[in-house]
Amino acid sequence: MTARRIVVVDGHSMNPGDLSYEPLAALGELTIYPRSGAQLLAHCQGANVVLTNKERFDASLLAQLPDLEFIAVTATGCNVVDLLAAKARKIPVSNVPGYSTDSVAQHVFALLLELNNRTSEHVAASRDGRWTAGGDFSLTLSPIRDLAGKTLGIVGYGAIGQRVRAIAEAFGMRVVAAARSAARAPSASPEDVQRVPLRELFETSDVISLHCPLTRETENLVNRERLGWMKPSAYLINTGRGPLVDEAALAAALAAGTLAGAGLDVLCREPPNADHPLLREKRCLVTPHLAWASVEARTRLLRVTVDNVRGFLLGAPQNVVNP
């Protein structure tokens, strides 16, 4: 295995300091940058192997990196790399599929339970003396409803969507998923989830959870019209991609009270501006894109990424997305 110069261009999110880079360092001359930004080109000069999570590698940048031989994306989605331009330059690009399934599915219900039970508000009421001052054995600040018997609609029934279904059913929820296309008839079988047309899913679900990839067809999937289809008592959960949701339309629906609440782990711009309307909306919970980031998920991510780099160096690349 010929030694190569390996550069991590934005390592902080994957490894803020609790994981070991030693297995990667054993594969070549390793340089780690927590972030790159405007220094991306300079950081990549002379690199043979690059690891990137969110730093973008477009055709123009690739043309300025004659030594680059392999790109390992430390994520499942690879839209940060111009795959066709990389292929034209004979640069294979790998990803890490399925590493965060459990972590993301868990976070869906962290958001849903907080929206439904308002646990943090009730904890605050205990700490600040409102329960003590109330004089009653029980204090309820807002209505709490059972998830059992409610309908969860999943848009994007891949590995994460399927894991969300399993957890939802453990709560006693009914689960439906969006039909693969408008032309496909709704179906149900013991082995598979019931699939329904998108409009029916929006109109009948008490909770909608988004897990589809971001494409031209799914951008602004949740728009003003479809928000209008939803029950006023329904919740929207998005742990997929920010642009799946028209944020202005969602903010308007929440402000008008035509939607009970939303839980978002992703936004169109990350990090958002300080005046982003959804950060101030009481009916909206926003977490800082961390659904993927459990210790176990990041450990799997780094381990498979190292395997991807090792496979390339041995002449047997794996998880290549631009063959």
> How does DSSP assign 82-141, residue by residue?
-HHHHHHTT--EE--TTTTHHHHHHHHHHHHHHHHH-HHHHHHHHHTTHHHHH-SS---S
> What are the catalytic residues?
241, 270, 289
Indicate whether 45 and 109 sit together in one domain. no
Indicate whether 88 and 51 sit together in one domain. yes
Polymer length in residues for the chain: 323
pLDDT of residue 107: 98
Residue 318 is assigned to a structural domain of this protein: no
Indicate whether 80 and 132 sit together in one domain. no
Indicate whether 110 and 174 sit together in one domain. yes
Query: What is the residue type of 1?
Result: M
Indicate whether 166 and 249 sit together in one domain. yes
Q: List the chain residues with pLDDT less than 50.
A: 182-190
Indicate whether 60 and 146 sit together in one domain. no
Indicate whether 28 and 152 sit together in one domain. no
Residue 322 is assigned to a structural domain of this protein: no
In three-state secondary structure terms, 253 is helix
Give pLDDT tens digits for 67-92.
Answer: 999 999 999 999 999 999 999 999 99
pLDDT of residue 180: 74
Indicate whether 107 and 60 sit together in one domain. no
Indicate whether 163 and 280 sit together in one domain. yes
**Number of domains into which the chain is organized:** 2
Q: Which domain holds residue 45?
A: 4-99+295-313
